[in-house]
Chain A
């Protein structure tokens, strides 16, 4: 079972997924399963931020700033999204190691 997510987790897009934004929609392709998933605008933003350097807290802040949603709602949505994608192997989670210079954890 997956451990609960923490605000300082830094999700990283897994190499088991290819992706592209096509005609305004971001799609993820699970390479082994040949399964295609579509993301809405918030999902797309989280996916793009998930570079293994940006913490969940920071991702939530960015979502709030860009989509003007209440912080509580944004956090719940972002956590659910990251949980779902982590469960299918599309995200790897990391908390260890130094946060790269200039990056807010």
Chain B
């Protein structure tokens, strides 16, 4: 009655059959930090321009959506924000989702992981916490999130969450201002016994402002990082590659704080409102999602003939956020991703065997969340 099966096979089947096994649900845009790169909106403003907190989904709406995504096939559910931990209903949402059978992760900036909160989310059934880290020391991290003391609270919170039995993973975001600390951030994570992932890709904001991009690492630093401390993350060289598609709108889906369905939380392309339609109807009938599912390599104007494709880890979400074109860029070099692919190409050419990172066709990761 029981057979061993593999996660990668499950993801592939979900991709092929368009089953949204990975759903990231942004339950609020509120946050206690003011990160310089925050993709939600410029955190020097009180809220996302043109929107108000009152427009965020109600608890009852969130619970309804949880039932609907579960029925459509969700297995991996992440709550994100803003700071998901600031939502007073979070515990109830976790309980509902985990009792329904979903594996629940809370994405957190770490600074709100105080003992009582950890106990509550663990008891409610969360199994994992992803914690964002921006430096190996307080000065760097705190200048990034613009709140003094945040670094220590994040470190303490990550340790406490792990001690409470949650799976903890650090998401290290790499920017110009912390590029010299990556090695020490990795060392810190290793000392704490916490696995990590790292990403230098950041995006323009939902509100259309682009100052979040000012701090992106340059070519020289990228080259140095992927020959050095991030060598293990260099993607596998894939010379047989015939697609630049992500898992967006197939096995992956995002839901905004206002109930808008996105092909991925990293690709904020409005695809249907859960205030007006059921998740099933949006997932199956949305013209935007169907358009994405039917894209072929020839629909990507720059990528289809690109000499760097075998080395590129293009994320449609990142490209969409930065260029406004999901199947962009229009021309090679219009997005930072192209520069990254050139760097990877050069490193692969010099030592083709290097590369232990994930396969090139991944999901669009969102660089962080509260």
Count of chain A to chain B residue pairs whose CB atoms are closer than 8 Å in the complex: 75
Binary flags per residue of A69-88, CB closer than 8 Å to B gives 1, else 0? 00000000100110011000
The residue among A19, A22, A81, A84 with the most chain B CB atoms within 10 A of its own CB is A22
Given A15-B125, A31-B103, A36-B7, check contact A22 B13 (CB 8 Å). Answer: yes
7 further A-B contacts with Cβ under 8 Å, apart from A20-B74, A22-B75, A36-B5, are: A13-B101, A20-B21, A20-B70, A31-B103, A38-B2, A39-B3, A77-B1
The 10 closest A-B pairs by CB, nearest first: A43-B1, A18-B103, A20-B75, A38-B5, A31-B127, A38-B3, A19-B101, A81-B1, A36-B5, A23-B17
Across the interface, A22 reaches (CB within 8 A) one of B1, B14, B167, namely B14
Q: Which residues of A contact B98 (CB under 8 A)?
A: 15, 18
15 CB < 8 A contacts A-B: A13-B101, A15-B98, A15-B99, A15-B125, A21-B73, A22-B17, A22-B19, A23-B13, A23-B14, A27-B10, A27-B75, A31-B103, A32-B167, A37-B3, A85-B2
- Known contacts A22-B73, A27-B5; A36/B102 CB under 8 A: no
Docked complex Cα distance between A3 and B125 (Å): 27
Q: Do residues B2 and A22 form an inter-chain contact, with CB atoms below 8 A?
A: no
Residues of B within 8 A of A80 (CB): 1
CB distance from A76 to the nearest CB of B (A): 11
Chain A minimum-CB-distance residue to B4: A37
List the A side residues contacting B125 at CB < 8 Å.
Answer: 15
Q: Which residue of B lies closest to A20 (CB)?
A: B75
Contact of B73 among A15, A20, A36, A85 (CB under 8 A): A20
Contact of B2 among A23, A29, A32, A81 (CB under 8 A): A81
Chain A residue numbers with a CB within 8 Å of B74 are 20
How many angstroms from the CA of A4 to the CA of B350 in the assembled complex? 62
Which residues on A are within 8 Å of B, measured CB to CB?
13, 15, 18-23, 25, 27, 29, 31-32, 34-40, 42-43, 46, 77, 80-81, 84-85
* Shortest Cβ distance from residue B25 to the other chain A in the assembled complex, whole angstroms: 16
* CA gap between A46 and B1 in the complex, in Å: 10
Q: Which residues of A contact B1 (CB under 8 A)?
A: 39-40, 42-43, 46, 77, 80-81
Cα–Cα, bound, A53→B163 (Å): 33
Q: Are A36 and B10 in contact (CB under 8 A)?
A: yes
A42–B73 Cα distance when bound, in Å, is: 20
CB under 8 Å from chain A, chain B span 60-88: 70, 73-76
In the complex, what distance in Å separates the CA atom of A27 from the CA atom of B75? Answer: 10
**B104 CB, nearest partner CB in chain A, Å:** 8
CB of B191 closer than 8 Å to a CB of A: no
What is the CB-to-nearest-CB distance from A20 to chain B, in angstroms, rounded to a whole number?
4
Which single residue of chain A is at the shortest CB-CB distance from B7? Answer: A36
| Beta-carbon nearest neighbor of B19 in chain A | A22
- Considering the chains assembled together, what is the distance between the CA atoms of A43 and B2 in angstroms? 7
CA distance A78 to B21 in the complex (A): 28
Residues of B within 8 A of A40 (CB): 1, 3
